[in-house]
Amino acid sequence: MIRIYLVLFVLLFQTGCGGGSGPESSKNIPQQSPISNQTKDSDNDGIIDTQDAFPLDARETLDTDGDGIGNNADLDDDNDGINDAQDAFPLDPSETLDSDGDNIGDNADPDDDNDGVNDEQDAFPNDARRQMFIVSGEVTGSAARLALSLGGKTLQVRDGGFSFELEKGAEFTLSVSSIAANQYCTYDAKALIADRDIADLYIDCFDGLRLSELLPTIPDSNFRACLREKTGGYVYAHQVTELSCTLLDIQSAEGLEQFRGLTILDLSHNPLTLLDLSGNTALLELDISWTPLVNMDLSYNVLLVDLSLQYNQLSDLDVSANTALKRLLLSKNKLTRVDLSSNTALKTLSLYENDLSNVDLSTNTLLETLLIYNNKLTSIDVSKTPN
């Protein structure tokens, strides 16, 4: 009996103290869990390592531009060339400015100054106080109140300054009327584009010269006779707008500069060796063909649309100022070169029988008629002139 009790006591003691082996014996041993990589924060900065660009640097967590410099230390977080202190969008490399403070960057904002006018139409897209360009100038010497028309608006001005407001990109031409009969006025009548403020439109008016005073001073008798015949009914030289004196053996056109209102002039088939057109700035059509002229200055005749200088002795000609030309006839001269890069409005071009070895037509995309045979050309590229 005593032995049986001892065995039972030992068994009970082992069971109560957790003795034994097997699965049941390990349940009460405390286990230490490993730290998950999903929650690990090595530098203890509050940002887990998987979301921290600098997991071992508690001072940095982000590197927006990926340049290896944390945003806290990086002076240009988005690496767009603008320091963060001056960048309205320091974390967006596509934006740097927000002119109107609407939290939309200027590159994406269609109205940067928030003035109700889209940037494309706004002459000053970053200035809410202005939307249009100012075109201005001054009138001097006028004896009467001039009617100045520009961009659909008209002003009455005698002497002094004037100004117009025009939308960005508007094409305009200054027109002047109501000029006193005894005066003529000079001004820039070219077509212009409002792509900036323009402040140099000057209108200068002068007293006209009476034909009765001018004609006796014309030295060439043949030219004088033609002028008497063609200007009857006019009082002042500047009132004459068209003049044709051809096949008259005129050797000098001295005095022509006084006819400042001429828009059409034909002096072809005359033995002219010199011709001064500096005073004839209103010319639109000019024919000086079949003369022995060796040079011509057309820099003052910027309004020319039609120019014929065929059958002369020209070896060079500068037409860079004559950007309005649509028809240019230069055949039968001695031209060795001609620069037409500024004459983008040309539709008809005649250059046959010269000494040209090369002609660049890359800018003359409106050309419809081209005559260029009997030169020294080996080839010519007309691929840009589909007409």
Which pLDDT score, from 0 to 100, does residue 211 have? Answer: 97
Which pLDDT score, from 0 to 100, does residue 33 have? Answer: 53
Helix (H, G, I), strand (E, B) or coil at 298: coil
30: Cβ–Cβ under 8 A, 6 or more apart, which residues? Answer: none
Could you read off the pLDDT of 231-240 as tens digits, one per residue?
Answer: 998 999 999 9
Task: Give domain 133-207's CATH number out of 3.30.1360.70, 3.40.640.10, 2.60.40.10, 3.40.50.1220.
Answer: 2.60.40.10
How far is 137 from 195, CA to CA, in rounded Å?
Answer: 16
Which pLDDT score, from 0 to 100, does residue 1 have? Answer: 43
The neighbouring-strand residues paired with 285 are 264, 306
Contact criterion met (CB below 8 Å) for 106 and 120: no
Residue 287's closest CA among 306, 302, 259, 300? 306
Is residue 7 predicted with pLDDT exceeding 50? no
The larger pLDDT score, comparing residue 10 to residue 35, is at 35
Domain definitions of the chain by residue range: 133-207
Is residue 331 predicted with pLDDT exceeding 50? yes
Could you read off the pLDDT of 22-63 as tens digits, one per residue?
Answer: 444 444 555 555 556 678 888 888 889 888 888 888 888 888
Which pLDDT score, from 0 to 100, does residue 208 have? Answer: 94
Percent of the chain with pLDDT strictly greater than 90: 56
Amino acid in position 369: T
Residues 42-66: b if buried by 16+ CB within 10 A, e if exposed = ebebebeeeebebbeeeebbbbbbe
194: Cβ–Cβ under 8 A, 6 or more apart, which residues? Answer: 123, 132, 133, 135, 151, 166, 167, 168, 169, 170, 171, 172
Contact criterion met (CB below 8 Å) for 347 and 326: yes
Three-class DSSP labels, 180-234 = CCCEEEECCCCCEECCCCEEEEEEEEEECCEHHHHHHHCCCHHHHHHHHHHCCCC
Average pLDDT (135-161) is: 93
Please state whether 81 falls in left (phi above 0), alpha (psi between -120 and 50) or beta. Answer: left
Contact criterion met (CB below 8 Å) for 61 and 88: no
Give the global pTM.
0.67
Average pLDDT (258-263) is: 96
Tokens of 238: 């500047």
Contact criterion met (CB below 8 Å) for 298 and 322: yes
Is residue 158 predicted with pLDDT exceeding 60? yes
Residue 300's closest CA among 172, 148, 186? 186
What sign results for the dihedral spanned by CA atoms 157, 159, 160, 161?
positive
> Of how many residues is the chain composed?
387
Is residue 254 predicted with pLDDT exceeding 60? yes
Tokens of 239: 């009132």
Which pLDDT score, from 0 to 100, does residue 104 have? Answer: 81
Average pLDDT (70-98) is: 83
- Determine the straight-line distance between the first and last CA of the chain, rounded to whole angstroms: 131
